[in-house]
Amino acid sequence: MNKQIRRIYELTKFRFDKKTKKAHISPEDWPEEWKRVFYKVYPRFPAVDLNSSVEKSGELESLIASRRTTREFSNEPLDFEVVSSLIFHSAGISTPKEFGFDQAKRMYPSAGARYPIELYLVSNNIIGLERGIYHYDVKNNMIEFLLKKNLKNYMVAATNSNMGMVPAIIILSGVISRTEVKYGVNAYRFALLEAGHIGQNISLLSEKLNLGSCAMGGFDNDKISKLIDLTDEEIPLYIFAIGKKNEKK
């Protein structure tokens, strides 16, 4: 990995010391400077109203508008079929097999079609799937069983939250060298953008499947890397907690 990329990554890794733990206080206890949202406008320039009649005009628009972060989940397990659909339609191959794997396209854009992102699934409570961690084999649309273990407590520590207890956790990592061969130091930035594209798919599909999702960028990088046994060329980028919404709230 490019030394500049490694340096940026090391400088931005999360470790849950006293400073970072402050970011995990509940919203009602946030200081005022965290609550105010700023909007940029050009008051001296003419403006044109957008056509509001197109709002929520279809299923996709409704899903985008209704998407919210879920932080309270029920204790119900998830069906394996639902999790399978979520993973495939978020990160799977979208073109027919006759295109060949070198020409295959996926459910999201990738800079130069280099596809550096890998997907891992932590199964805490999925019907028909043993507890542990799995890797998504996108080429064959299968998940590979890497470790059989109850990882709830480990994921609680790695995320510094109760999100580690949810039925399913998706981890997105980046093999930066795949993109680096074409884009050099920009590979890290492009990998982050790509993880964001997949994350939006996960969020919207969760909403469609009536599931809750919580995107997490603040996690202990070293704990996650150790869990998946990543090499220095592969780094964790994004985590999603997935489960059924707590309808009682």
Q: How far apart are CA 186 and CA 75, in angstroms?
A: 41
Mean pLDDT of 116-125: 98
Cα 175 to Cα 116, 117, 188, 239: the distances in Å are 5, 6, 9, 16
Mean pLDDT of 204-228: 96
Cα 198 to Cα 44, 107, 138: the distances in Å are 38, 8, 13
pLDDT digits (tens, 9 = 90+) for 150-175: 999 999 999 999 999 999 999 999 99
Instruction: Tell me the pTM.
Output: 0.92
pLDDT digits (tens, 9 = 90+) for 27-47: 778 888 888 999 999 999 999
Q: Assess whether pLDDT exceeds 90 at residue 56.
A: no
CATH code linked to domain 3-25+77-148+156-244: 3.40.109.10
Q: Assess whether pLDDT exceeds 90 at residue 7.
A: yes
Mean pLDDT of 221-233: 95
